Amino acid sequence: MRASRLTASFVAASIVVSASADAFAGDFDPQGNFAFDPSALVREGFETLVEYGPGDADGGEVGIKGLVPLEAPDAIEGKRVALVQPENWWEYAIVPVQLPAKQLSVRARLWTRHQNVVAMFVARFNSSASAELITDLMPTGRCTSDGWVELQSAPLSIDGLDLSAAALAVRGGGEIDGFELVEDGVFRAQEACAGAFDTVCGPEGICLAGRCRDGASLVPPLPAAGEREKVVDWLESRVRFLFGGRWTRQHYLPLALEEIERMRQATGAWSFWNGFATAVHKLHDWHTSLSGIVMAVESPRHLNLCFLEGYADLSHKQWPSDPQHLDILVAYTGSNRTLGLKRGDRLLAVDGIHPISWARSLAGVSWDFWQADDDSSNAEFVERMRGLIPMFARNFTVLRCDEASASCADTPEVIDVSSIPEDLPSDGDTVGCDNRPAYHLDIANPPSAETHRDVSYNIFLGPVVDAQPGENIWGMTWDLLWGPTMTPQFLKLGKTFADNQVRGVILDHRAGSGGTIDAAEAITRLAREPLDLAIFPFWRPTAGFEGPADAAEGLAIFNRYKVYTNDPDGPQKVQPDLTYTVGSKTADAQLPIAMLIHRDGSASDYLPYGLKGAPKVRIFGPHATAGAFSSFFNLNFWGNLSMQVATGDTISNDGGAHIGHGVQPDEVVLPLQSDLIHGKDTIYERALQWVRSELKP
């Protein structure tokens, strides 16, 4: 077999192709010997698989990267199997296949054992990247006494006349054997559709990126009638007994349980499993999500720009602000695929309603739906808006503005999503969205203002470009609070600032993606005296406990579970330690620290919470943080189906339960349209002004 690289298209491999017939699975004779379905279009037992490596003088490669041939007397078919062994858990080994040049409906089957193999079948087409088909292979219920489990996909309608490549893709670990592709069902061409709520796709279909998708191909099979109630009961118990803290269980859990009840009446695979996804979304939690193969469907249309919540002071005459949601503005753009939009332009509506209201309406259709626990925060929706629109919208309405005149057009413009050109590989990556209209560090290698993708796993520290001589104001720009790599760096900040005689600090954490609480603790050491601030996380001690009913009960919990340190400034703490201990005896009470927040959750909730109220700290941002004051469990099902569910709560030293309540900025500052149009960063400018007024002597 010739190898393939996982690129924009799969290289076709030479695998047996036979005439079509009615579909029957490969089966076993009375002696337990397996035989492929004789009418299968593709039959692969990996008998000729060779070690992956360099090939002949043509410069090619042999074998398949991530698959290792393995002798196995108890193979499903023949005497060899393929061991799935990629370099990284997220990488797929690609087994290309050939199909006849005709329209047909096919189903993929594969046998696996040992560990957990995630298997998908993928088909790509010449006419459009949006026509790509992808489906999971899920257990059928057939297994053998020596551990083999059969996986099977839903039927996929494939137009072989338009097919550019097809492949089995596997990752994880374990052995695979007995892969076959059989005809099954009637070919149905993809229909065009407009927007996620287009009814043309029917109750068991979904409109994604302008094409109707067969919902059954994107979710596990519908459980058998005799098992369906048990499956619903089990899923309901995971949510009921594991999820949340006091606020989220009181306000959001009942909504999710109502959705789960509706699953009992579902008659199709999509309505059943999408019902569960909707229930998970109604838990309204930053840490809670359901993942599935449907999230691998991508739109080939891109908006190479980033939106930001703000105040459209240049265009309220043309289009007044929404009474509930902030205005949505273009913060910055990439170099192409912008539809001519530029910084300061305004996104007025999507499918005729405010963009945030529209994004919130996607809870029943978008599996990667994500929102803050605190209902006043919508940063997660806005940061992802440029991807949601090409995938789920019919049209969107914009108001273009002019930098030279500092004014906006009188008339809005409605843009059909179908008019956005499909991308070419040469178009390159889109600009990253991190809620920072600009970077402000005077260092040798600052984050790239062209890509906005450098911050992520890095910490940028140094003087700010706007400091006047003698002010010595420093800034730190970073996204993650990942203790294993970042806490040691944060613990050095106090000495670094002292050694450089820093007189003021601006902490730019406007894309706070969380991490571990020790990293947040380390940064708070800059600003305040030691304080046992809260218990994290307070797990539910019994399944029926709904959290402290009042401050007195909360205070009793805090006093019961907190563990003091032998020495707050020492290297070790008494174990187990559930206490969120902030501050340090070495804190510099004269150093002003401005913290910039925007989209911040989890450990990035704890950091501003730990800094708030310190004598020389002021927090600036448009609204509260996510309020994700919890931990979480991961529940892995089969294939790409998995769930992350928030659990626990944070109990403060005054007895309050904090999940669902984000940290409010000390000063609410909204990015101004009149600033953005000229490339100015309103929140940063205000923070700099405050720091200058408070400089350390």
CA atoms within 13 A on the CB side of 613: 8
* d(C-alpha 10, C-alpha 37), whole Å: 25
How would residue 206 be classed by pLDDT, with cut points 50, 70 and 90?
very high
Q: Region 568-595: what's the mean pLDDT?
A: 81
What Rg, from alpha-carbon coordinates, does the chain have? 28
Q: State residue 496 phi and psi, 5-degree precision.
A: -60, -45
How many degrees, rounded to 5, is the angle at CA 208 between CA 203 and CA 212? 50
Output the average pLDDT for the chain.
92
* d(C-alpha 534, C-alpha 547), whole Å: 15
pLDDT at 568: 54
Strand pairing category for 593-596 and 149-152: unpaired
How would residue 48 be classed by pLDDT, with cut points 50, 70 and 90?
very high
pLDDT at 425: 77
Through-space distance between the first and last CA atoms of the chain, rounded to whole angstroms = 72
- Which of 84-93, 383-392, 531-540 has maximum average pLDDT? 383-392
How would residue 121 be classed by pLDDT, with cut points 50, 70 and 90?
very high
DSSP tag of 200? G
Q: How many residues does the chain have?
A: 697
DSSP symbols for 432-456: P--S-S---B-SSSPPPTTT--SST
CA distances from 200 to 237, 517, 629, 642, 660 (A): 35, 48, 41, 29, 38
Percent share of the chain, pLDDT over 70:
94
Nearest in space to 435 (alpha carbons), one of 623, 307, 329:
307
* d(C-alpha 539, C-alpha 294), whole Å: 32
- CB-count exposure of residue 238 (10 Å: 0-12, 13-18, 19+): middle
How would residue 4 be classed by pLDDT, with cut points 50, 70 and 90?
very low
How would residue 563 be classed by pLDDT, with cut points 50, 70 and 90?
low
pLDDT at 542: 79
Amino acid at the residue 20: S
Strand pairing category for 649-652 and 531-538: antiparallel
pLDDT at 584: 97
pLDDT at 31: 87
Residue ranges of alpha helices (H) inside 130-177 are none
The three-class DSSP label of residue 551 is helix
Residue 8 has pLDDT above 50, yes or no: no
pLDDT at 576: 59
* d(C-alpha 614, C-alpha 526), whole Å: 10
pLDDT at 382: 98
pLDDT at 24: 53
Q: Which residues, 6 or more positions from 57, have their beta carbon under 8 angstroms from its beta carbon?
A: none
Residue 3 has pLDDT above 80, yes or no: no
Are the beta carbons of 435 and 676 closer than 8 angstroms? no
Task: Give residue 455's region: left, alpha or beta (phi > 0; psi -120 to 50).
Answer: alpha
Q: Region 476-504: what's the mean pLDDT?
A: 98
Nearest in space to 621 (alpha carbons), one of 378, 375, 288, 431:
378
pLDDT tens string 430-452: 999 999 999 999 999 999 999 99
How would residue 569 be classed by pLDDT, with cut points 50, 70 and 90?
low
CA atoms within 13 A on the CB side of 283: 33
pLDDT tens string 223-267: 999 899 999 999 999 999 999 999 999 999 999 999 999 999 999
* d(C-alpha 315, C-alpha 317), whole Å: 5
Three-state SS letters, 603-629: HHHHHHHHHCCCCCEEEEECCCCCCCC
* d(C-alpha 36, C-alpha 192), whole Å: 37
Q: Region 101-108: what's the mean pLDDT?
A: 96
Residue ranges of alpha helices (H) inside 456-515 are 483-490, 493-499
Residue 22 has pLDDT above 60, yes or no: no
The H-or-E segment that residue 42 falls in is strand 42-44
Higher-confidence residue of 23 and 479: namely: 479
- By mean pLDDT, which of 23-27, 322-326, 420-424, 461-465 is the weakest? 23-27
pLDDT tens string 283-313: 999 999 999 999 999 999 999 999 999 999 9
Percent share of the chain, pLDDT over 90:
87
CA 440 to mean position of chain CA atoms: 28
Strand partners, 646: 632
How would residue 58 be classed by pLDDT, with cut points 50, 70 and 90?
low
* d(C-alpha 93, C-alpha 83), whole Å: 10
Q: Region 133-141: what's the mean pLDDT?
A: 95
Query: Residue 568, Cβ neighbours under 10 Å: how many?
Result: 18
pLDDT at 544: 80
pLDDT at 538: 77
pLDDT at 691: 98
Residue 15 has pLDDT above 60, yes or no: no
The three-class DSSP label of residue 672 is strand
Domains and CATH numbers, the chain: 27-190 (2.60.120.260), 434-529+585-627+662-697 (3.90.226.10)
Sign of CA dihedral 502, 504, 508, 509: positive
Residue with tokens 């490596």: 53
How would residue 545 be classed by pLDDT, with cut points 50, 70 and 90?
confident
How would residue 600 be classed by pLDDT, with cut points 50, 70 and 90?
very high
pLDDT at 646: 96
pLDDT at 276: 98
The set of long-range contacts for 248-252, using a CB threshold of 8 Å and a minimum separation of 24, is 248/283, 248/284, 248/285, 248/373, 248/630, 248/646, 248/659, 248/660, 249/546, 249/547, 250/546, 251/284, 251/660, 252/282, 252/283, 252/284, 252/285
